[in-house]
Structure 1
């Protein structure tokens, strides 16, 4: 056993268990964490030795290659890339784009899906072990793809083992299983030190060494090499604190080598790809004799890949080299790098070899940034642009590159670096357009950080004002951005007042111009004044304006009660997300479309979309968007299930409190707990949030009438009527009509409500109109007429799965002397959201592989879910799913 693994029995057992599970088709991932020299690399070596029956794939992060997108993933997949032809075309293309073999813009998580498919193609032959050392230096794109992969190998013969040096932190790996290596206990440390030092050692010196090393195995092993036995035995060469002593030890060993061997090691450290052909061509340019490799082999293995004995040896070799030797190494590697096959690595080496401003290299880096951006490497683009700016001599051009770098840094969440770049840009001479760009970036930074200081809308409004004369169209777009931000963070009123100063819209105005003017009018003058401007644009779900501001389009559809736009805007977002493979856009579209489906009464479709959105969230490590689940739980009306969800949402974020209050009002109106519904609806309406308060108004009217709060009900009705009359949409007019009937007891209003809602897909609102009408008739003693309405309501609500409202209708029917038919048990009642989604897909004829691709699972995991579905429903085959109530 490796001496550095003394005292690591528990850690070895954990790694061995991971390998054993992978052999049995229960793969997984493990992140090894700890300080330098603590034994992470030794555990990776142990895993490789213990996995004799595995195909082992290796990769390592390199501090000098963090800027190249998918660099580490490419390293890892290189041995099996010949299997890429077996993947579906979109997945194959995603990998080819990521690895620079094609052009396009892949999402890192789509690349993760493709990588999973690639591993699955190989795993049936033999289990796979993927080893990634020094993962703290992964490029951003590789880190996201590997994190996705780690969460999705549970059903495969794949083990993924990564080491991360503390105190570095990778947010992508925070939720993965981890093992933190601590220092050895005193007995184990003494045993390891005794194995390393065979000569007699003064007890006081031994104690000092043990104290300084703090149980770090590599420190204990390297001390004899760096300090020398004589020095330690005499008690004079006391070591510095570990882990700095470790790298110092490697540096000391480097000093014993010849200049040629040290230069060879510098070149090897400078090229983290580990390509021997590249290394020896560069060495030849530098006049390094091949014999130097013999001398350097104590620290580097020269084989089919160049591998350092320890990551710190690589770091020491690079950092110990003089600035001139590092520059010469980069220059030589640039000279031998293929400009066609690897232009970005070539540009980076040339940049590192530069001794001062160089416009040719700066321009080359800018082109590399554009290529990186196209391949989804936003972090790489940011690094290229930042370095490009540093090499730019012309002030205006340097400012443009600094601002572009700040934008890219902001996009990948490097907020502190983005802020530093903006500060640097502000010290240069700036024109108004550049100052506006800086304001916009400050606004985005403020929104992302959500810390004190000036709010994001302040910066956006400042940018809009600066651009008013210079670029009116851009100025108006900034005002619209500020309005959208005001909706999200609050303070929409002051933003709308400021936006009144926007430059006048061109004639004829664009859709974006109409939305800005209409939204300002809506906030300041009300719905009736704004509807003529907003209505036509909102009613055109295919308008390009909603491609840029989809959330605003969805909110305005709710505000104007436009059921077609409520479905059409998110349907377009979902289509665009699927086409582009964007795991940012698609979840937003799915959440909005699920919410629209809930209000149409299509709970099955809503369940599918919620399940898919949650699958994407699980795959990407993001938090799922919870609001469609709130809408579904409120309308389904299963009290215990809904209350549990509401409580968990509030516990996680008070920002969702108004949404929870709206959902609570709907739930309690369904349960006939009108006092609770009244209090919740009152809170949901009080803040006047666009979209949400409008939906809460009819709930407030109903609860207030039932509680005898007639003035409150009449006031809420007046507000609701203004909104629905403005929109003039059948959905809104129908809801307003049955709300008006509740307040005025005008029977004609119930007929009006049913007539309007019959013309819409909003089935649950149509059913509620029948329910309210039936309740009114029963209270008048008109039982026969009441039964007809209540029977219709009960059948509709039962078929939709709106349990609370259906039970309320059943109770009203019983009060007329008629018993409602009992609802037959639905298969969907017994399944989780994900199980129901899988069952519906399989019932429609999808194979396990097709379901797996859609839900970012492995086929094996889908089959495991199917077995659970069959057990719950008492089925034996996929064909039986097609005939089950609640599935199709």
Structure 2
């Protein structure tokens, strides 16, 4: 890590870097630094090919950062498997400020940096802690944070840094990434693409390093072939004689450009004495850049400064407060070109001088890299490192340790066990191809039936993770049956995962029924049933016996899950998430799903995360909190991009339908229906048609709504097909299809009455009111009362709307206006545009004049969605840090928004927000 403070240009190491050309790029960086000096935040992703000048531009930014504190970190290829390694590099100079962080944030950073023991913290909490840390530090001096070679930053660090970069706004902080190619974590951030120099600048640079006159055609060829890459222009001529340069014969190699640059480095490094080259190798293999470790390892190998720090070494390596290479390609060139024996000797020396207490994982990695043959002591050490990595939330790191552990294991039986563990960890980390390879290793090394069964299980889970397909449920069911003689707990867990896979696919009822029947045939557990047992029993009964028989069991399962640690549900928690939905318990749904998501996020189980996030997004969308649901959608997209396995956009479909945005919704519905139908993922078709039913009911296009809802209710799955019944009833009644509505109402009563929750009975009362004559008013009032006790604001608003519509048709205009006005205001505050327009039309029909439902501002400028959300939270009494925690913003950014809110509303205090915000909107933030 590097921490430098800039006081004024031209002092010491702050002397400004001079670059040839790059006027446009330097101007971008200058504007960025000026904005940060003025109190704003900026983020920039500088990307381009190796050697094109990214690092030089970052050095230019550093040298131009007058009166700023500079923090820097460099991604190191050999560190990519160590979770949070780069983040620790960057934040290390600020850790003296940890005591100033809120308790949960401090604990999160201390845990991931190995400063304290504890369960893995949620990734978002780590990001919020870093955001707060940078924000607090920037109050003393503006910060410039530079992360070079971001393509080699470990995944956990890159996710957190991407999270922080997207939430910087009013802090005096600049974050600059240097990267060869942008990763998914950096998409959407401001970028600066670096290409080669212009021809005139490229010729000037080439002339500066060539001796003698070059043929014009040769000079042009060099510039063209290097595409103006500055490092190539500087390095390639150095490996060629004047004759080769003049005749162009040295340019006939077919290597790739980075390979040519590396070869140029190696040709010149090869002229150094052997001790000097060995010191370069030590520095390349030691990723922290600690000069004490480098010199200690050198001493172990019998090297002295006198024989290593020869003339010319300063061209390649800086050995000051931190060991740094002149260019990242030097490090990779030195390491890759070294002999195996030298690499092993260097790693062994580094392992011997690395503190086993302070840094056991890096020591284990060095020992593993030094091993020339299987070594059980090193393999066991790697296993322990994998356990520690998993506890810190580094699933990818755990997988890497276990993969290396397998290579160092000689005993076949133990090798099979470790290969299965490596395959499982790699699967959780989202690298399915590598997981398959280790499953094959486990299969070849298996010594007994138990090991073969476990291998079949992990292969089945890989098949399921590779994309919902019809092969997964029967494979998982076979694995579950094979497991029964060996491990009944694992067998029950696998039966439940098979059930969940079949329910998600919704291909046909036979598959789900076969799995449910097999689950019910399992022998009962001796003693008190585990939560898993009750969940599996309830899910199976749901299919074989129906909702009435399953409801009491599912309610017991829900109670058991409430007390079960989320860590025990890693592999099957996404299925258990459906229990609360099946019994219509919205509060338990949000709590249970939230707990499972927190744990799955924390351990980095990327294959499970999209399913859990989808459940959470749907649960949140039911409440009408579209801002929070949109964050979930963004996270799902990030995870799917990382694993390369797409998932149907269920949350987006639900939100777009509720919002009532026709063009956006219809395009998404059509695309999802086509893709899901083609791949056999009929759950995607079901959700898409549910979304269509909601959309068209909001628009008053009841024939289309009824058609879509009928598709849903015909699907053999236990959740969405049921949620579509109220849509079918409303559409059928409004379309004049009373028989269809009454039949759907009977089905709805069958699935809601056994649950007995306010959500279930509220929706049932609202639906009964639609087909009722004499009892309609009491049923509408019951629906409003019951749904009013839930957090399901869209459902409550729809109850007010239907009641108002009924009152208007009963010619009770005054009472109708009251209900319709309530519905209109609620729909507006939630963002349900189509339903709001439907309510507005009904209000106009009663003679009501409709004004602007937005918050009025004296400036005429409306509050943005985020400003409105912050204003409402402030109005409800939350402090800036509390709001920041909820919205994943720094307190300083919250304050910046608040100043804009005050200006727009022409007020001067938080207390005045109570007078200017509509009560209906203020109430929308309560929990």
Determine if the alignment matches structure 1 residue 455 to structure 2 residue 450. Answer: no
- The residue number in structure 1 matching 2:591 is 571
Task: Report the Cα offset of residue 423 of structure 1.
Answer: 2.1
1:289-318 per-position Cα deviation (integer Å, ceiling 9, x unaligned): 212213322211121111111111112222
Instruction: Assess, with a 3 A threshold, how the Cα gap between structure 1 residues 620 and 752 changes in structure 2: closer, same or farther.
Output: closer
Greater CA drift, 759-768 or 256-265: 759-768
Distance 2:885 2:188 in 1: 23
Instruction: Assess, with a 3 A threshold, how the Cα gap between structure 1 residues 674 and 404 changes in structure 2: closer, same or farther.
Output: same
Distance 2:800 2:244 in 1: 95
Task: Report the Cα offset of residue 574 of structure 1.
Answer: 3.6
Distance 1:49 1:587 in 2: 43
Task: Report the Cα offset of residue 362 of structure 1.
Answer: 0.7
Instruction: Assess, with a 3 A threshold, how the Cα gap between structure 1 residues 665 and 180 changes in structure 2: closer, same or farther.
Output: same
- The residue number in structure 1 matching 2:524 is 505
Instruction: Assess, with a 3 A threshold, how the Cα gap between structure 1 residues 106 and 228 changes in structure 2: closer, same or farther.
Output: farther
Which consecutive unaligned segments of at least 5 residues does structure 1 have?
599-605
Report the RMSD for the aligned CA atoms in angstroms.
Answer: 3.8
Distance 1:360 1:709 in 2: 75
Distance 2:125 2:766 in 1: 47
- The residue number in structure 2 matching 1:200 is 213
Instruction: Assess, with a 3 A threshold, how the Cα gap between structure 1 residues 835 and 617 changes in structure 2: closer, same or farther.
Output: farther
Greater CA drift, 460-469 or 704-713: 704-713
1:705-720 paired onto structure 2 within 5 Å = 705-720=733-748
Instruction: Assess, with a 3 A threshold, how the Cα gap between structure 1 residues 9 and 102 changes in structure 2: closer, same or farther.
Output: same
1:3-42 paired onto structure 2 within 5 Å = 5-42=19-56
1:778-797 paired onto structure 2 within 5 Å = 790=816, 793-794=819-820, 797=823
Greater CA drift, 307-316 or 28-37: 28-37
- The residue number in structure 2 matching 1:747 is 774
1:686-835 paired onto structure 2 within 5 Å = 686-729=714-757, 731-733=759-761, 735-736=763-764, 739-740=767-768, 742-743=770-771, 745=772, 747-748=774-775, 751=778, 754=781, 758=785, 761=789, 790=816, 793-794=819-820, 797=823, 800-801=826-827, 825=853, 827=855, 831-835=863-867
Distance 1:54 1:618 in 2: 36
Task: Report the Cα offset of residue 411 of structure 1.
Answer: 2.3
CA contact (8 A) 1:35 1:165 kept: yes
Distance 2:596 2:581 in 1: 21
- The residue number in structure 1 matching 2:196 is 183
Determine if the alignment matches structure 1 residue 330 to structure 2 residue 335. Answer: no
Task: Report the Cα offset of residue 337 of structure 1.
Answer: 1.1
Determine if the alignment matches structure 1 residue 360 to structure 2 residue 377. Answer: yes
Task: Report the Cα offset of residue 238 of structure 1.
Answer: 3.7
Distance 1:420 1:262 in 2: 36
Greater CA drift, 529-538 or 419-428: 529-538
CA contact (8 A) 2:729 2:767 kept: yes
Task: Report the Cα offset of residue 257 of structure 1.
Answer: 0.7
- The residue number in structure 1 matching 2:395 is 378
- The residue number in structure 1 matching 2:9 is none
Instruction: Assess, with a 3 A threshold, how the Cα gap between structure 1 residues 741 and 41 changes in structure 2: closer, same or farther.
Output: closer
- The residue number in structure 2 matching 1:602 is none
CA contact (8 A) 1:661 1:681 kept: yes
Determine if the alignment matches structure 1 residue 342 to structure 2 residue 374. Answer: no
Determine which of 43, 60, 76 is the counterpart of 1:46. Answer: 60
1:717-740 per-position Cα deviation (integer Å, ceiling 9, x unaligned): 332233234445565456445645
Distance 1:872 1:395 in 2: 71
State the number of aligned residues: 864
Distance 2:155 2:803 in 1: 59
CA contact (8 A) 1:553 1:569 kept: no
CA contact (8 A) 1:54 1:129 kept: yes
Determine if the alignment matches structure 1 residue 137 to structure 2 residue 148. Answer: no
SS at match of 1:14: helix
Task: Report the Cα offset of residue 206 of structure 1.
Answer: 3.2
Determine which of 535, 538, 542 is the counterpart of 1:515. Answer: 535
Determine if the alignment matches structure 1 residue 232 to structure 2 residue 249. Answer: no
Instruction: Assess, with a 3 A threshold, how the Cα gap between structure 1 residues 672 and 290 changes in structure 2: closer, same or farther.
Output: closer
Distance 1:766 1:218 in 2: 65
CA contact (8 A) 1:770 1:789 kept: no
TM-score normalised per structure 1:
0.87
- The residue number in structure 1 matching 2:451 is 434
Task: Report the Cα offset of residue 142 of structure 1.
Answer: 1.7
Task: Report the Cα offset of residue 851 of structure 1.
Answer: 1.9
Determine if the alignment matches structure 1 residue 87 to structure 2 residue 115. Answer: no
1:346-368 per-position Cα deviation (integer Å, ceiling 9, x unaligned): 11111111111110111111111
Determine which of 314, 317, 326 is the counterpart of 1:309. Answer: 326
Determine if the alignment matches structure 1 residue 526 to structure 2 residue 526. Answer: no
- The residue number in structure 1 matching 2:83 is 69
Distance 1:416 1:735 in 2: 46
- The residue number in structure 1 matching 2:922 is 887
Greater CA drift, 183-192 or 472-481: 183-192
CA contact (8 A) 1:227 1:239 kept: no
Determine if the alignment matches structure 1 residue 120 to structure 2 residue 141. Answer: no
Distance 2:478 2:902 in 1: 60
SS at match of 1:301: strand
- The residue number in structure 2 matching 1:275 is 290
Distance 2:302 2:639 in 1: 48
Distance 1:441 1:479 in 2: 14
Greater CA drift, 790-799 or 610-619: 610-619
Greater CA drift, 585-594 or 79-88: 585-594
Instruction: Assess, with a 3 A threshold, how the Cα gap between structure 1 residues 553 and 304 changes in structure 2: closer, same or farther.
Output: closer
CA contact (8 A) 1:267 1:283 kept: yes
CA contact (8 A) 1:496 1:524 kept: yes
Determine which of 614, 638, 662 is the counterpart of 1:643. Answer: 662
CA contact (8 A) 2:669 2:692 kept: no
SS at match of 2:911: helix
SS at match of 2:387: helix
SS at match of 1:887: helix
SS at match of 1:111: helix
- The residue number in structure 2 matching 1:401 is 418
1:463-482 paired onto structure 2 within 5 Å = 463-482=479-498
1:869-888 paired onto structure 2 within 5 Å = 869-883=901-915, 884-885=917-918, 886-888=921-923
- The residue number in structure 1 matching 2:169 is 154
Instruction: Assess, with a 3 A threshold, how the Cα gap between structure 1 residues 711 and 181 changes in structure 2: closer, same or farther.
Output: same
Instruction: Assess, with a 3 A threshold, how the Cα gap between structure 1 residues 63 and 694 changes in structure 2: closer, same or farther.
Output: same
- The residue number in structure 1 matching 2:6 is none
Greater CA drift, 661-670 or 580-589: 580-589
SS at match of 1:161: strand
CA contact (8 A) 1:697 1:716 kept: yes
CA contact (8 A) 1:733 1:753 kept: no
CA contact (8 A) 1:798 1:823 kept: no
1:219-239 per-position Cα deviation (integer Å, ceiling 9, x unaligned): 221123211334434555446
Instruction: Assess, with a 3 A threshold, how the Cα gap between structure 1 residues 303 and 747 changes in structure 2: closer, same or farther.
Output: same
Distance 2:852 2:647 in 1: 32
SS at match of 1:56: strand
Task: Report the Cα offset of residue 806 of structure 1.
Answer: 8.4
CA contact (8 A) 2:130 2:164 kept: yes
- The residue number in structure 1 matching 2:92 is 78
Which consecutive unaligned segments of at least 5 residues does structure 2 have?
1-14, 677-683
SS at match of 2:346: helix
Distance 2:561 2:866 in 1: 29
- The residue number in structure 2 matching 1:601 is none
- The residue number in structure 1 matching 2:680 is none
SS at match of 1:232: helix
SS at match of 2:72: strand
Distance 1:860 1:59 in 2: 25
Task: Report the Cα offset of residue 687 of structure 1.
Answer: 2.7
- The residue number in structure 2 matching 1:594 is 620
CA contact (8 A) 2:423 2:438 kept: yes
